[in-house]
Amino acid sequence: MTESSVRFPAEWEPQSAILIAWPHAGTDWADRLDAVETTYVALVAAIVRFQPVLICVADDAVREQAQARLAAAGVALERVRFVAAEYDDTWLRDSGPITLRDGDGFRLLDFCFTAWGGKFEAGRDDLLVEALSAQGLFGDAKRQRIDFALEGGGIETDGKGTLLTTWQCLHERHPQASRDALSAKLASWLAQDRVLWLDNGALEGDDTDAHIDTLARFAPGDAIVFQACDDAHDSHHAGLAAMAAEIAALRTRDGQPYRLFPLPWAAPILDGGRRLAASYANYLILNEAVLMPAYGDPADAAAAAVLAQAYPGREIVQVPCRPLIWQNGSLHCITMQLPAGLLG
């Protein structure tokens, strides 16, 4: 197969399943396990309405616990598949496979996962793609190990060769590399011919160093959905306003401005005085739906309305995500889509 046959599909293209890992007492969720399991149950219940879900479980006890919680909630278990794998935590967007279409097959990019620059233990998470691939889950897809720290939450593609990312994140991971050098590496590995950078925008309570999936997302039809802040007194206002201006200045490959969909801003959510990163941009796209993080805020409904405009024809489903942001991530962060045809 020639290199020109390799393509990084957009998230809204057809999917075979969603990949997640079930939280358990050996993860950082231990102190609030019941609350976060409630969110996972709601997430799986929403996913299986539209497509299968593949759930990593650390051992038989975790599988039995997950199965019991899902069954008690009436989840359609025939659309759930459990797979045994060891993991340090459950942020599958960053430790899971980044899948490219390679002609009639697939290529699984297995970048180094360093827990966002060595902030946490990640030895088992870094081996997850290899472990899943070795079990034959992905048929004859080729796994490509890449000695470079990159997380799935740090990149967005439109499926047509344009990548969107943030300078803060990539610079934090690779401080010696220039922007041109990073653009060239990303374009080569991810089969892109344009790399767009945002220099502004970051959320308090986000320990990923400004992952793009908390800030701005591509949508079909040359559109960008992004997290805005309309509260002039909020500490995020200046940074997100500067980011909005950057996004407005971006151009499609045809030289046109993107269609823009600003998301509303939730009121501050605090945990013992610590600000939590309640971003509506951290939504998950399914085959016929968009699952959006809900925070019990009046802005939830307004965010759903924006997403309905950006993704016409898809049902917008709210998933309660306050338990997730306690650990500094949200809905998109704990999931990874698997393109149609990938599962063996």
pLDDT in tens, the chain (344 residues): 334 689 999 999 999 999 999 999 999 999 999 999 999 999 999 999 999 999 999 999 999 999 999 999 999 999 999 999 999 999 999 999 999 999 999 999 999 999 999 899 899 999 999 999 999 999 999 999 999 999 999 999 999 999 999 999 999 999 999 999 999 999 999 999 999 999 999 999 999 999 999 999 999 999 999 999 999 999 999 999 999 999 999 999 999 999 999 999 999 999 988 999 999 999 999 999 999 999 999 999 999 999 999 999 999 999 999 999 999 999 999 999 999 999 96
Q: What size, in residues, is the chain?
A: 344
Q: How far apart are CA 96 and CA 335, in angstroms?
A: 8
Which amino acid appears at position 188 of this protein? S
Q: In the chain, what is the straight-line distance between the N-terminal and C-terminal CA atoms, in Å?
A: 20
What pTM value is reported for the model? 0.97
Q: What are the structural domains of the chain?
A: 3-339 (3.75.10.10)
DSSP three-state, residue 225: strand
Strands 105-112, 98-102: pairing kind: antiparallel
Catalytic option among 56, 229, 321, 333: 333
Task: Extract the runs of DSSP E, i.e. beta strands, from 40-141.
Answer: 53-57, 80-84, 98-102, 105-112
> What's the token pair of residue 332?
């998109």
User: Per 3-state DSSP, what percentage of the chain is helix, strand, and coil (rounded to 5)?
Assistant: 30, 25, 40
Q: How far apart are CA 256 and CA 262, in angstroms?
A: 18
DSSP three-state, residue 57: strand
Q: How far apart are CA 325 and CA 38, in angstroms?
A: 14
> Of 276, 294, 274, which is closest to residue 284 (Cα–Cα)?
294
> Does the annotation count 333 as an active-site position?
yes
Which amino acid appears at position 219 of this protein? A
